[in-house]
Amino acid sequence: MKNSFKTLWNTWQWGCGRTIMSAVAAHVNSISVGMCQGFSAVLIPQLLDSNSSILVNNVEASWIASLGVISNPLGAMMSGVCMQTLGRKTTVQLTSIPFLIGWTIIGLATDITFLCLGRFISGVAIGMSSACYVYVAEVSLAKHRGVLSSFGPIFVSIGVLIVYSLGSIMPWQVVSILCALTSFLSFLSVNLTPESPSWLASKGRVADAGKSLMWLRRKPSLADKELAEILNNLADGGDADSPSAPALRDFATPAVWKPFLILVCFFVLQEASGIYIILYYAVNFLQVAGSTVDSNVASIAVAVLRLIMSVTGCVCIQHVNRRTMAVASAVLMAASMAACGAYESAYGPMLVDDRPYGWVPLACILFNVSVSMLGMVPLPWMMIGELFPLKVRGIMGGLVPSLGYFFIFVTVKISPGLMTALTTDQIMWLFAAAAAAAACFVAAFLPETRGKTLLQIEKMFSSDGGGDATCNSAAEYPEKWSSKPGGDPATAVYTISSLVEVRHK
């Protein structure tokens, strides 16, 4: 027991323990994201019940569901501006406030107007939560970035599971208040973390960036080297000496527009594959698909599998290439939807109770949800914090998610009409085709980022084709690398300050 405690303490003090804690604190917001995304699946069936205190029709129900998404782009754009001006950590903490306000309004709602208002405000918070991925990418070492970023999908899955489970046994008003408590916990937890060193350095606060890195890494030599890489990155962008807001020309470089187009196309194909329709309308979708299992039980099973596969994806992302995971995920999603489409084509006209192998639709949907968590769902969100240059990372970290959330809104809003206009087998075939197209796109265009530093990833998109993206600051300034592991933080800050002085000469 004593040795185990000592190992944990050493990991906290000198290993990656503090970085892990910072990532977990940031991703507590992701639990609230999952709760908001899954809430409509338990709220709408209760509102459509004849005994509901607030009665709604199908059109009103679709608006209640989609209003949790329509404001996501607004929140994402707000987060981009806040990340650029106020900092990554501050933006992550501010995200908790609209979550708390939105859930409280929903829990106290007495008519549909307040329900819609609460959903709209909490939707703003979902959009702002994209800042979590940028923050985690910037505080993580390259070898840990994939795993720590994948905590986000895990926590989202936890949120979905919690709200599905609570919604099956409690009225939606009580569920809303419990969700509000999670938002408050998130606000408190972020207080324990430091600001992003990259953002601090980009604002000319090099000493503060050094202190932040020392808190995270606990090794002066490692902190010195990492900050030197950040300064080299800023110097390559012409901002080492005079930090300033990004200009329009900064967004026209290949290092910005190439990853922008890749991520936007990735999001379009992700939404077209139907995964968010299944998430937001889990109970209704399972009924349409002809599952013979109780819809509430089946939706909880979906959430449990989603969580298990999120954890599996977290393990795989450390050992498997991003592109390989995305292609495999898309291919398996296409296969599952094609199988479900074939089943519906064969037995769709029959009554549900008379169909043979009635478990097939549920099995296909569960398999689809499971494999989507290996790549298609988490990767575009995770890569937002990886692909863009430091100078525009805050703005693009808001713009790209805003478009992704807009695509989600479109799919969520049109899905009731889609289920009415098309037969079930046609819907499944449509999802299968989109997933197959996603597999082809990913194989052709998605960059491989596993194990690469953020500077190396930026060089991949440069017009010169990359080149050596490795920082050679230790060789460039040998006299400034005198810190020893185990030294005090003041020494590290002094060394970093000296490095800046040399750069200015």
| Residues near 114 by beta carbon (within 8 Å), at least 6 away in sequence | 105, 106, 108
Q: Pick from 107-121, 290-304, 409-423 the range whose average pLDDT is largest.
A: 107-121
Reported as a single tens digit per residue, the pLDDT across 218-258 is 888 888 888 888 887 777 655 544 455 666 777 888 888 99
Q: Which of 23-27, 124-128, 278-282 has the lowest mean pLDDT?
A: 278-282
Q: What is the pLDDT averaged over residues 324-348?
A: 89
Reported as a single tens digit per residue, the pLDDT across 77-111 is 999 999 989 999 999 999 999 999 999 999 998 88
d(CA 161, CA 302): 8
**What confidence score (pLDDT) does residue 361 get?**
80
Give the number of other Cβ atoms within 10 Å of residue 57's Cβ: 9
Higher pLDDT: 169 or 283? It is: 169
- Map out the domains of the chain with their CATH numbers: 18-193 (1.20.1250.20), 253-461 (1.20.1250.20)
**What confidence score (pLDDT) does residue 488 get?**
43
Give the model's confidence band at 377: pLDDT under 50 very low, under 70 low, under 90 confident, else very high.
Answer: confident
**What confidence score (pLDDT) does residue 183 get?**
92
**What confidence score (pLDDT) does residue 481 get?**
31
- Burial 416-435, CB ≥16 within 10 A → b, else e: beebeeeebbebbbbbbbbb
Q: Residue 329 has which token pair?
A: 């995920």
**At 467, is the secondary structure helix, strand, or coil?**
coil
What phi, psi does 374 have (nearest 5°)?
-80, -15
Q: What is the pLDDT averaged over residues 378-389?
A: 87
Q: Residue 67 has which token pair?
A: 């209003």
Mean pLDDT of the chain: 80
| Residues near 270 by beta carbon (within 8 Å), at least 6 away in sequence | 376, 377, 380, 404, 407, 438
Q: Pick from 45-49, 107-111, 417-421 the range whose average pLDDT is largest.
A: 107-111
CB 32 within 8 A of CB 157: no
| Radius of gyration in angstroms for the set of CA atoms belonging to the chain, rounded to a whole number | 24
% pLDDT > 70, the chain: 81
d(CA 432, CA 426): 10
Q: Is the pLDDT of residue 264 over 50?
A: yes
% pLDDT > 90, the chain: 29
Give the model's confidence band at 438: pLDDT under 50 very low, under 70 low, under 90 confident, else very high.
Answer: very high
**What confidence score (pLDDT) does residue 477 get?**
34
**What confidence score (pLDDT) does residue 270 get?**
92
**What confidence score (pLDDT) does residue 294 get?**
65
Higher pLDDT: 52 or 264? It is: 264
Q: What is the pLDDT averaged over residues 290-312?
A: 75
**At 242, is the secondary structure helix, strand, or coil?**
coil
Reported as a single tens digit per residue, the pLDDT across 132-155 is 999 999 998 888 888 888 898 899
Reported as a single tens digit per residue, the pLDDT across 102-116 is 999 999 988 888 999
Q: Is the pLDDT of residue 434 over 70?
A: yes
**What confidence score (pLDDT) does residue 353 get?**
65
What phi, psi does 391 have (nearest 5°)?
-65, -35
